[in-house]
Amino acid sequence: MTRWHSRPVGEVAGRLSVPGDKSVSHRALMLGAVADGPITVDGFLEGADCVATRRALEAMGATIESLGAGRLRVHGRGPEGLRSPDEPLDLGNSGTGIRLMTGLLTGLMLDATLTGDASLQSRPMERVAEPLRLMGGRVTTTNGCPPITVEHGPRLRGIEYSLPVASAQVKSALLLAGLFADGETVIRQPGISRDHTERMLGALGAPISFEDALVRLHGPCRLHGEDIVVPGDFSSAAFFIVAGLLAAPSGLTVEGVGVNPTRVGLLRMLEAMGGDIELVKLRHASGEPVADIRVRKSHLRAIDVEPQWVPLAIDEFPVFFVAAAVADGVTRVRGAEELRHKESDRIDAMARALKAVGAEVEARPDGMLVRGGELRGGRVESRGDHRVAMAMAVAGAVSRDGVSIEDTGNVATSFPGFAESSASVGLAIDVEQTP
């Protein structure tokens, strides 16, 4: 196991880039594997989650060629190019991987068992399995969780489905199944969620339309080969955005970050708190908006986070809670019960971690109340959750005595080299191997 010691620092500054977007990387692999023709992927995230998706596709016959750091070529041979795997597919710790793969394999009418590590096997999967069964899929879970079994059957049929909660993973699983279904798949959401799947499907030639919370896909359809550029992961940039707002009087810039409107809820929340944030060099890559994000140390004030912001910042709440813990006043988050079903129960994990370093917080069923003040420092448990670990590393940088974080190995799932990237802008994280 790995332990981090995040030491307090006087100032952070400079420029850095972050690894490729994990959400886009997963989708590039899966859609590339069923496209008609090769797809080159630039900026691919070589973290453990995306590597697990790659290995699962290769176990089904996909040919994926490494071209150098962050570059791959996926040799798509259409939906006929994948076969039922001989062994269970291990998706590691990846909720995105297992949910999207379940939709893909159900649509392809393959036989497979999908599983993962102990953490993944505790996460809810009926939210995906139930609508896939409505499409005609033969999908079973294990007490509502992985392992998941998919069995071949007749071709799926498109359905109209209203999601109980806004979820990009469930929506994407249904769209991947809908690629091979007869008729139209229509998905209605109670709010806006990430639209990476819709954008990439459109770029690869799928007959899809999407606006606000409504998506329509006409199946069955085929995808053509189209090279994909993966932007820097906004969720990874979030740790440095908050670090800069707390400790960069001369400014800190994160370069080449994806700023998809369905992903930047954190920016809206931090701006509402008084954060000095600027997007520069706006451009597009493979249908995704990209920018350099420049931040400066700011006097942050508490806010009430509205429920409609939650889906647009769902992965950034751990580090947002750190910002709230040093802001003036009481920040309230509600409508975020989805945080209890991530790699850890992130409401409970962050409440316990922040309390351990001196913050005054109150965990609630669907969110948290955070009273801003000084962070003393101390020892915390990450629960094996990469985003909890990185968030508390930021907390250590602005604490009085520093923060020791247990069990940080899972950071490699989304941000290999986080400690080294942090050092390049002035954060001080000592890495220790423990028994």
List the catalytic residue out of 117, 195, 292, 315: 315
Q: At residue 180, what are phi and psi to the nearest 5 degrees? A: -115, 10
Cα distances (Å, whole numbers) of residue 259 to 316, 331, 340, 368, 414: 13, 25, 25, 26, 17
Per the DSSP assignment, residues forming a β-bridge with 185 are 217
Q: At residue 407, what are phi and psi to the nearest 5 degrees? A: 60, 70
Residue type, 313: A
Q: Closest Cα to residue 92, out of 338, 351, 365, 384?
A: 384
Query: What is the rounded distance in angstroms from the CA atom of residue 127 to the CA atom of residue 339?
Result: 15
Question: How close are the terminal C-alpha atoms of the chain, in Å?
Answer: 6
Name the H helices within 179-282: 196-203, 234-247, 265-272
Query: What is the rounded distance in angstroms from the CA atom of residue 408 to the CA atom of residue 339?
Result: 19
Assigned token pair, 138: 């033969």
Is 111:84 a contact under the CB 8 Å cutoff? Answer: yes
Element (H, E) at 278: strand 276-285
Residues whose CB falls within 8 Å of the CB of residue 221, separated by 6 or more in sequence, listed in order: 179, 205, 206, 207
Query: What is the rounded distance in angstroms from the CA atom of residue 99 to the CA atom of residue 101?
Result: 5
Query: What is the rounded distance in angstroms from the CA atom of residue 209 to the CA atom of residue 327?
Result: 41
Q: Closest Cα to residue 189, out of 215, 208, 207, 169?
A: 215
Q: At residue 209, what are phi and psi to the nearest 5 degrees? A: -135, 145
Assigned token pair, 232: 């820097």
> Is 315 tagged catalytic?
yes
Residues that are catalytic: 315
